[in-house]
Structure 1
Amino acid sequence: MSSTTIAPRISPELRAAIYHFTVFGSTGVASVYLGIWLINHGISAEEIGIINAAPLVAMLLVNQLVGRIADRMPDWRGVIIVLSLISGLVPIGLFFVSGFWGILGIWIFSVMPAFALVPVVDAATLRMTQRRGTDFSAVRAWGTVGFMVATLCSGPLIAWLGDAAFVPVFVAFALLRAVLAFQLPQFRSGEDRAATKKGASHLREVLKPWFVMGLLGLSILYSTHSAMTAFAAILWTEQGISPGLIGPLTATMAAAEAVMMFVWSRLKLKVSARHIIIFACLVAALRWTAMAFSPPVWVLFALQLLHSITFAMGYLGGIYFIANWTSDDIAAEAQGFSYVLQQAMSVVIILAMGWFVAAFGPMAWLFVAAYAVLGALCVVLSLKLQPPSAHPITSDQLTVADPAP
């Protein structure tokens, strides 16, 4: 279906939001039941670890290539559709495999393209909203809402229908993403291409110490949330938190993220993108420090609300930082490079956190807090090496903060 067949009254932003709603749907389903489904199919704990890690490793190898190809296409939409189709059709193979190697192969080619499309659709949506003068964060917020809906719906549904329901539900969400990719708008506008040439047009032009340090700090901040995903439920259970409260605690975190994205454009923050990342890192350090002292449930809910700052604000600051210094020519490639760093830092902290949890229990959160402070210091160094413009960013713009010299 051509995007030109969509009724004109449906704005490009609405069509992008509809797609964003589906981007993390299958991820939400997997986060609820993948591990249990694998165990019920006789997969060992070690093999489960490999199945979860393999798509990430594969994505690290191909993500830069995907971004480079997407940037060189007439529009990013084509690559998004192709990746959506692959990640929608390949999971059908899960109906026909049962052993470790079969599941591993299907899972890699189901999840890898789903991961790889994220920086492309983020970059494409951001550039489109910049050109049209609209609010990127409100569009991206629907991705978080979609994740929440998938998580909240799939758990009870699979519990009701039984183990055999996992694959049909996962495939349904993956296919929904593939179908709705076809209604995406054209993200680029030919007549405005000359106006989008500001900033670096080759990645090598911007990969300087100050830029890499900024991205490294952002990646460290992102990775602390990976530690949260991997170990929070385990530590809360050991703390005596009822398993029935873990779901609401997770939902509170996601809801706080969505709310921040919806209200972002109204904040009108008069600071640079990198100052936003530093603020998010410092708040994250406070959040993880508080977690180390096994606080009561009501405090945990309050700490989960800080996700609106530690993740949502950090994410938005990072995506604007990258966009402010790069042109459309490398939009997806630059976001992809940042995504690779984020995943690499996540591997580091998850491996380290496993050791710290075994040795120190909840006090391992102090290590995560220190890691967040390290992230802030990296961004401070970035600012020392290359100060931001005297014309700071407003929260719904991207062309006036940290502009390229």
Structure 2
Amino acid sequence: MPIIVILAFNLIVGRVADRARDWRQVIVIGALIGGIVPIGLFFVNEFWGILLFWTLASLPGGAIGPVLDAASMRLARRNGTDFGVMRAWGTVGYMLFNGLTGYLVVWFGAAIFVPLFVGLAILRAAASLQLPPFRAPAEQLTISVAAAAPKTGSLREVAKPWFILPLFGFCMIYGTHTVLNAFGSLLWKAQGIPEDVIGPLIALGAASEAAVMFLWKRLGGRISARGIMLVSAVASVFRWLLMGFEPNVAVLIALQLSHGITFAVGYLGCVHFIANWTSENIAAETQSLFVVGQQLLSAVALVGFGWLVPSMGGQAYFVAAGFALAGAGCIWVSMQMKAARAS
């Protein structure tokens, strides 16, 4: 339900953010709403009440996420800072609090979850008040910056096959990673991988993602954005093909370490691709459209693989490899349609 509602609101929130004086306003408002609404979880115990407040609590974070990505990318480019490092700390936080939550639930029981969730939501709201303005003041837009700025000032101008295809292609690849998140642990357990090994395997993927993001500035500037996306797509094809053969733990370690290439590299390539070809007037709206595509393809992948996994087991990853190959084809076709611009 939160995903359905977020899909309905993402483009609207992105458009509103682009029309605002600064993206910061929408981000702060969303964070404040996201900090207040979860308090209602303390007062509900039945299904419908939990569904209502959980959906309302999830909506602000999901809706402002693309706006925050777009705004951070623009600020990083203007200040010469590393967007990859900024994004990497998000992954580190994800790893840290996933592990911490597990221990806290073991120590204090499930009752600790709502206070922890509400407390962190309030902390996020307070932190948002410290955010700087993201848009460049008009007087800071120098001649060189203006000359280098992309000319596409509306979504209609940029919504052409050469622009849509690579983003759609990576959304297909993103969907295959959602399959790994949803079914990977179950398949590994069915293949006889010990449970005390499954956790570290999952952590390896997140660690690889963070490492690539920290190193992005050294690696990402040597190839075009779509070239990076194509590398990610091809690596995904080989990763899922090998996963389909139900390899041993040693091979799984190597495959999990490739997560930084199959996911992080492709994601950063997409964010740079969007920033390369769009102006600030449509930055958040375009990023929101990209996230909507990710969620839709993830839903398709989850439903489809929910049917395939019971009958195919680990060999369902062969279908994921086919999806990734189709995504790679979309990116390659786009590169033939329009020359790449360096990321």
Q: 5+ unaligned residues in a row in structure 1: which ranges? A: 1-53, 394-405
How far off its partner does 1:269 sit? Answer: 4.2
Amino acid at match of 2:260: S
Alignment-derived partner of residue 178 in structure 1: 125
Task: Give the number of aligned pairs.
Answer: 338
Q: Establish whether residue 156 from structure 1 lines up as the match of residue 108 from structure 2.
A: no
Q: Establish whether residue 237 from structure 1 lines up as the match of residue 161 from structure 2.
A: no
Q: CA offsets, 1:212-244, max 9 Å, x none?
A: 111101111111111111110111111111222
Distance in 1 between residues matched to 2:68 and 2:236, nearest whole Å = 27
How far off its partner does 1:183 sit? Answer: 0.9
| Secondary structure of 2:215 counterpart | helix
Alignment-derived partner of residue 293 in structure 1: 245
Distance in 2 between residues matched to 1:142 and 1:213, nearest whole Å = 29
Higher mean Cα deviation, 201-210 or 188-197? 188-197
How far off its partner does 1:189 sit? Answer: 2.1
Distance in 2 between residues matched to 1:132 and 1:237, nearest whole Å = 47
| Secondary structure of 1:240 counterpart | coil
Alignment-derived partner of residue 314 in structure 1: 266
Runs of 4+ off more than 6 Å: none
Q: CA offsets, 1:1-43, max 9 Å, x none?
A: xxxxxxxxxxxxxxxxxxxxxxxxxxxxxxxxxxxxxxxxxxx
Distance in 2 between residues matched to 1:261 and 1:199, nearest whole Å = 28
| Secondary structure of 1:381 counterpart | helix
How far off its partner does 1:193 sit? Answer: 4.6
Amino acid at match of 2:270: G
How far off its partner does 1:187 sit? Answer: 1.1
Contact 2:70 2:287 in 1 (8 A): yes
Q: CA offsets, 1:317-372, max 9 Å, x none?
A: 00011111100011100100111011111011111111110111110011111100
Contact 2:10 2:292 in 1 (8 A): yes
Q: CA offsets, 1:252-271, max 9 Å, x none?
A: 11111111011111125432
Alignment-derived partner of residue 164 in structure 2: 212
Distance in 2 between residues matched to 1:227 and 1:89, nearest whole Å = 32
Alignment-derived partner of residue 11 in structure 2: 64
Which of 121, 133, 140 pairs up with 1:192?
Answer: 140
How far off its partner does 1:139 sit? Answer: 1.0
Comparing both chains, which one has the higher relative contact order based on Cα–Cα distances under 8 Å and sequence gaps of 6 or more? Answer: 2
Distance in 2 between residues matched to 1:96 and 1:176, nearest whole Å = 20
Contact 2:32 2:125 in 1 (8 A): yes
Contact 1:199 1:324 in 2 (8 A): no
Q: Establish whether residue 276 from structure 1 lines up as the match of residue 228 from structure 2.
A: yes
Contact 1:293 1:363 in 2 (8 A): yes
Q: 5+ unaligned residues in a row in structure 2: which ranges? A: none
Distance in 2 between residues matched to 1:170 and 1:298, nearest whole Å = 36
Q: CA offsets, 1:145-191, max 9 Å, x none?
A: 11011101010111110011111111122122111111111111212
Distance in 1 between residues matched to 2:250 and 2:241, nearest whole Å = 16
Q: CA offsets, 1:274-326, max 9 Å, x none?
A: 11111101101111111111111122121111011011100010001111110
How far off its partner does 1:246 sit? Answer: 2.1
Distance in 2 between residues matched to 1:246 and 1:176, nearest whole Å = 31
Query: TM-score, normalization: structure 1?
Result: 0.81
Distance in 2 between residues matched to 1:97 and 1:265, nearest whole Å = 46
| Secondary structure of 1:105 counterpart | helix
Distance in 2 between residues matched to 1:105 and 1:268, nearest whole Å = 42
Alignment-derived partner of residue 228 in structure 1: 180
How far off its partner does 1:199 sit? Answer: 3.0
Percent of aligned pairs sharing the same letter: 47
User: Aligned Cα RMSD in Å?
Assistant: 1.3
Q: Establish whether residue 353 from structure 1 lines up as the match of residue 323 from structure 2.
A: no
Q: Establish whether residue 364 from structure 1 lines up as the match of residue 329 from structure 2.
A: no
Alignment-derived partner of residue 337 in structure 1: 289
Alignment-derived partner of residue 114 in structure 1: 61
Contact 2:220 2:228 in 1 (8 A): no
